[in-house]
Amino acid sequence: MFLTKIDLAPERRLARKYLGSPQAMHAVVMSATGGHDGNGPGRVLWRVDRGMTTALYILSPLEPDCSQLVAEAGTAGTQARTLDYSPFLASLDAGQLWAFRLAANPSHSASRGPGARGQRYGHVTVEQQRQWLMDRVPRFGFELMPVDHADGEGTEEAVLVAYRERPVFNRRRPGGVGYDRVTINRTVYEGVLRVTDPEPLRRALIAGIGRSKAYGCGLMTLARVRQD
C-alpha cells in the first residue's frame, strides 16, 4: 500500500472543480491510481484535509502517478509525496498510542418492512455522529483515549468532531439511465487511540471505515502523539 499527500491550490480553477464535487475528485483520483471501487483491501481511499492549507491524501495498492493532478490543481512548486505504507502497517502493535484523523459518513439503516431493503439516513447531530464512531471502535482493534485539557481542568472528549459538511451531487444510476441526487454527511473525527489488536486496525486502515468510500470517506490516518 502507498500513502500519497498532495498540496492543493483552491484558487486554481480545476482545484475548485475537484474540491467542489466528490464525483469529480473521485474520477481524478481513480485516473491517478488506476484504482477500483471494490470493498476490502486493495481499493483506493482518499480524503481532503482543510485548514491553513488544503491537502489531498490518497491510499492506494499501487504507487500512483499524480503528475497530471499536481499540474492541474497542485500548489505551485510542489510535488506529490508518496511513501510505502507497508512498513508502518507492519509496525503497529498493541499498546501504542496514536493521534488519528478519520473522514467518515456516519449513517444508519431504517427498516421499511419485511422483505424490503432498509433506507439509509445520515446522522446529523454532533452527538449522533460521535456515538456512531464510538459504537464501532471495538471491532477495529483500538480504544479511544481521553485527552487532558491544557489548563489542567479535567479531560476533553475521547473523540472530537472537528469538521462537518454535506456535499450534494448527482450520481448516474446503474445502467446509465438517469441520475440520483446524493447527499453525504461527511464528518471529520480527531482524537487519540490506543491499539488493542493490530490486525483489525490494519484492516480498517486499508479497507476504510463506514460508507461512501468512493467519495472521500473512510480513510483514517495515524500520527505520533505530540508530547508538550
Give mean pLDDT, residues 191-210: 95
Model confidence over 57-72: pLDDT tens digits?
A: 999 999 999 999 999 9
Contacts of 228 (CB under 8 A, 6+ apart): 150
Which of 43-52, 93-102, 148-157, 159-168 is predicted least confidently? 148-157
Label residue 200 exposed, middle or buried (CB < 10 Å: 0-12, 13-18, 19+).
Answer: middle
Model confidence over 86-128: pLDDT tens digits?
A: 999 999 999 999 999 999 999 866 655 665 556 666 667 888 8
Give mean pLDDT, residues 8-18: 94
Q: What is the pTM of this model?
A: 0.86
pLDDT at 222 over 90: yes
Which of 116-120, 178-182, 189-193, 217-221 is predicted least confidently? 116-120
